[in-house]
Structure 1
Amino acid sequence: MINIFVTYRCNLACSYCFARELHAEYPEDLTEADFDRLLEWMERAQLPAAAFIGGEPTLHPLLAYMIERTAEAGISPVLFTNGLFPTELADRLTPVVSNFVVNCNEPSLYTDGQAELLAANLRRIAASGARLTFSKNFSSQYCEYDYLLEACARYGVQSVRYDISRPSISAGNDHFTNDDTRRIISHIVRFVKACEERGVRTGLDCSVRLCDLRIEDRNYLERVSMKFSGVCHPSIDVHPDLSASYCLPMRDISVPDVTAFPSQDAVMWHFAERVRPIRKANVSTDCLECRDFMRRCQGGCMALRRASSPICREPDSDDGAKEEE
């Protein structure tokens, strides 16, 4: 699956968001012409699924059209949203979206009107029988989760994606450092256990440093939490101009045109090779001496360990084609 950032506009201003500052770099939404080109590439590459994300993707005036065309092409559309969109849009999207992934903030972050709109859309999605997943970002300011457990019970949600807040490209957002992670990780484990006790499956969005966990907690998360890992893999975040990045926190590890590659696997391998030197950069002596390093763990988020100067060069526009020759 790839992530299609159809717009970086948003109707919220979450302090932990690592995408918000990219609106200055990509002020324009994904155009219909570029979407057509991207959809043709996704069909050729035989992608099984594509995620529509932002910003807040429902602000894009053509979102429903793009999702419907994606579904018609046999590609499962996933929608990442804050849930604050017109209720009639929910009615149009529920027949075609394969999974609504709704980011649920703590109640104090919503106005009364926003809270009512979110609840109305969640009721509509749940009543339609469409798949509904919650997502939770733990940040230094927002670590509560009881409200999320209550919402899971209220709307019949059986799956939650979670992560600790990651740095933006400038590291100017509210994010956890590797040292912060060591302090918060036991709280995350309690959250996962609370979900499991209620029959709610969990999945970790990105990797964590394994030594931050007690052995028993690590074994537990490896057993019950989907995608739990100490090593990250390319997200393939596609921007509105069809350039693509390894992930948003590592925005500069990018290619100018994702459609220049013959397949999703080719993009994955390209990014994996480009971050190889970064995986081994700025790690502690303890990491270098650890038997799990570079096997099961990369020593924490690479974006937090980046050197001040870029390690990898920006690729030429035909790098993808050259690699496949």
Structure 2
Amino acid sequence: MSRDPTNIALDTLQRNMIVRRPERTFVIDVAVQSRDPAKAARIANAIGDAYFAEETAARMDAAKRASDALAGRLANLKRDVEDAERQVVRYREDHRLVASSGRLLTDQQLGDLNQQLVGASIKTAESKSRLEQARKMRTSDPSTALPEMLQSLEMQALRQQYATLSRNTAELATRLGERHPAMAEQYAQQRDLQRLIQREKERIIDTLQKDYDRAAASEAAIRSSLDRVKTETTVSDRAYVGLRELERTLEARKGVYEAYLRRSREASEQERLNTTNVRIISVATPALQRTFPPSPKIVLPVALLLGLAIGAGVALLLGADADRRRSLRQASQPTGRSLRAADA
């Protein structure tokens, strides 16, 4: 047997310590017996403090082990996330998948070109309509009303002059007659104004033709760009399938990494927080009276009663034994007298 003082003290404490749980409760009662009531209370309180210290140390040790394990795992997960991010970036660069605001650049260009094509088509149609109307007015009479597109300031001035000259010529023809020499000059002025008006028409038609050509060229360029972007979009869509797979892998790794990161932070916080739900309901106090050996006020009456009971029992036993012996002697005496009578 070990004679180590610590073991001896622990054995002595174990013999003099009572730990029990009352029925239907989660309360643990700890009691210590000692000749010194104050010492017994100190030991009981020290047992509670030691339990809490051990519980806290075990919890902190478990949290530290979990934190260390998570930290090692986090380093691997971080490397996995960085590798996945590099793969996504490299794949984008290799396939020229440029994104902006969460959309591929080719998709944005395709949408913009579609809008531009609609506007260019409308502009081309309007330019063509104006040009066709202007061509129809080419052979019309100078006094015929012109469409709004032909109403330039110079054309308006020329037509105003032609209208005034026509009225003057008509009035002069009425007064002088068609064959009067002065009418020749009027007609010559009219022909000059007609040529100027026709020249202005041709200028306007040429301007409208150029506008139409520019609108048509712009529409054709936009269509060409649209066809090119459509081809690029088709290629990008095929490449985007692989990109989405890489992005899903990246998101999955990020999710695992973030989950481990939150768990690591929680474990670090648990090392500093007391999360135990065990507490001391009441501290141990010195006993007001001893429990063993019992008090003389209790021992003397009990001893007296026990002594009387034992004495009565012994007396009864002795009396019973004396009666038994007496009965035996009496039973043996008559047999002796009858023998002596027979001898006589």
TM-score bracket relative to the smaller structure: under 0.3
Q: Which has the higher strand share?
A: 1
TM-score where L is the length of structure 2 = 0.14
TM-score where L is the length of structure 1 = 0.15
Q: Which has the higher helix share?
A: 2
